[in-house]
Structures are given as structure tokens and as C-alpha cells.
């Protein structure tokens, strides 16, 4: 990261409604790039998802710039493999913040044996991780 670059502040999501709503809004702005579900998530679906995920397998972050939530990141552990996903609000893309998100997510993965980033064929974002 360059010295004068905007620094993201990660906050781990604890499940407060306000956090889930922020997560929902950012994720919906990224939805066309998602590999599994591209539909718009409604507030009740977001809450249902949070209530039903196995908390020990998921770690979710919101990322802030000057107290403004601009991105999210998620780690899902499945059979010892950490799956990463994340995204930024459109206005904050292309400024090096995506690289910060994925580097941060990677540093949060413990006992790393494998990390997978699932992307659409048209999004070769794996380069973000080439740090
Ligand atoms: C993907 C995303 C997080 C990247 O964040 P970003 O802030 O725009 O990316 P950065 O500015 O940090 O770019 C880092 C590197 O990735 C490259 N990059 C960024 N987006 C890219 C894309 N869609 N395809 C190919 N390369 C891309 C940049 O050119 C840069 O490479 P460089 O250092 O060689 O020049 C952001 O564009 C986004 O939220 N997109 C919608 C959601 C999404 O696609 N999420 C990924 C699915 S897991």
C-alpha cells in the first residue's frame, strides 16, 4: 500500500441489524459479480442468512473509510478450505481498496492450507491477491 493511500478500517460484523443492513446494501451493489446468487437480497433474507449460518465457519467484515461503510469481506471455511468473497460500493472501486480488502481477509485466515476465491469467468480479480 502506498503511504498516501486511503486506508480501510475493518470492523467484524457481530450481527446487529444496522450492520446487516449495511452489508446487504453493499453486497446488492456487487451482486452482478457474484458467482452463486446474483439476486437482490431483501432485509428479511439477510437477517435469515445471519441467523442460520454456522457462526464458527463464517467471518464477515465491513470496511470503512472515514466512518463511511464502503465494502465488505467474507471468509467461509468449508472442509479446511477458506473461501473469500468481498466487494466495494461502485464509487470506491479502482482505487486500490479491493486489494486491501483481500489482503486483510487473507491475514484473517488461520492455519492456511488453501484459500480459494471464486469469481465469474469475466472477473479476473485473482490479480488483486498477487501481493
Ligand atoms: C473486485 C473489487 C473488490 C476490486 O476492488 P478494486 O478496489 O476495484 O481493485 P483495486 O483497485 O484494489 O485493484 C487491484 C488490482 O486488481 C485489478 N483489478 C481490479 N478489478 C479488476 C477486474 N474486475 N478484473 C481484473 N483486474 C481487476 C486492478 O487493475 C489492480 O491490478 P494492478 O495492481 O495490476 O493494476 C471491486 O471492483 C468490486 O467490488 N467489484 C464488484 C464485486 C466483485 O467483483 N467481487 C469479487 C468477487 S469475490
* pTM for the structure as a whole: 0.88
What is the distance of C-alpha 108 from the center of its chain?
A: 12
Interval 59-74: pLDDT, tens:
999 999 999 999 999 9
Q: Provide the number of structural domains found in the chain.
A: 1
Residue range 32-51: mean pLDDT, rounded = 92
pLDDT band at 11 (very low <50, low <70, confident <90, very high): very high
123 domain-assigned? no
Q: Which atom of ligand 1 is nearest to the CA of 119?
A: 47
Ligand 1 centroid to Cα of residue 73, in Å, is 13
pLDDT in the model for residue 129 = 42
Q: Which CATH number goes with the domain that contains 57?
A: 3.40.630.30
Task: Evaluate: CB of 126 within 6 angstroms of ligand 1.
Answer: no
Range ranked top by mean pLDDT from 61-75, 79-93, 115-129:
61-75
Ligand 1 centroid to Cα of residue 58, in Å, is 23
Residue range 122-127: mean pLDDT, rounded = 49
35 domain-assigned? yes
Q: Pick the residue whose CA is nearest to atom 2 on ligand 1.
A: 98
Cα–Cα distance list, 62 to 17, 27, 82, 124 (Å): 13, 11, 18, 23
Residue range 111-127: mean pLDDT, rounded = 64
pLDDT in the model for residue 127 = 42
Cβ atoms within 10 Å, residue 18: 8
Percent of the chain with pLDDT over 90: 66
- Under 8 Å between Cβ of 87 and 27: yes
71 domain-assigned? yes
HSE value, Cβ hemisphere, 13 Å, CA-based, for 18: 3
Q: Which domain holds residue 75?
A: 3-117
Task: Evaluate: CB of 31 within 6 angstroms of ligand 1.
Answer: no
Ligand 1 centroid to Cα of residue 104, in Å, is 15
131 domain-assigned? no
| Mean per-residue pLDDT of the chain | 88
Amino acid at each position: 500500500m502506498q503511504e498516501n493511500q486511503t486506508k480501510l478500517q475493518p470492523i467484524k460484523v457481530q450481527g446487529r441489524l444496522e450492520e446487516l443492513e449495511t452489508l446487504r446494501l453493499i453486497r446488492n451493489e456487487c451482486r452482478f459479480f457474484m458467482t452463486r446468487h446474483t439476486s437482490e437480497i431483501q432485509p428479511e433474507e439477510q437477517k435469515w442468512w445471519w441467523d442460520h449460518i454456522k457462526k464458527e465457519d463464517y467471518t464477515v467484515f465491513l470496511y470503512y473509510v472515514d466512518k463511511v461503510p464502503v465494502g465488505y469481506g467474507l471468509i467461509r471455511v468449508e472442509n479446511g478450505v477458506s473461501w473469500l468473497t468481498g466487494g466495494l460500493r461502485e464509487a470506491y472501486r479502482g482505487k486500490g481498496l479491493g486489494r486491501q480488502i483481500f489482503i486483510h481477509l487473507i491475514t484473517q485466515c488461520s492455519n492456511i492450507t488453501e484459500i480459494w476465491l471464486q469469481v465469474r469467468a469475466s472477473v479476473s480479480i485473482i490479480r488483486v491477491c498477487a501481493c
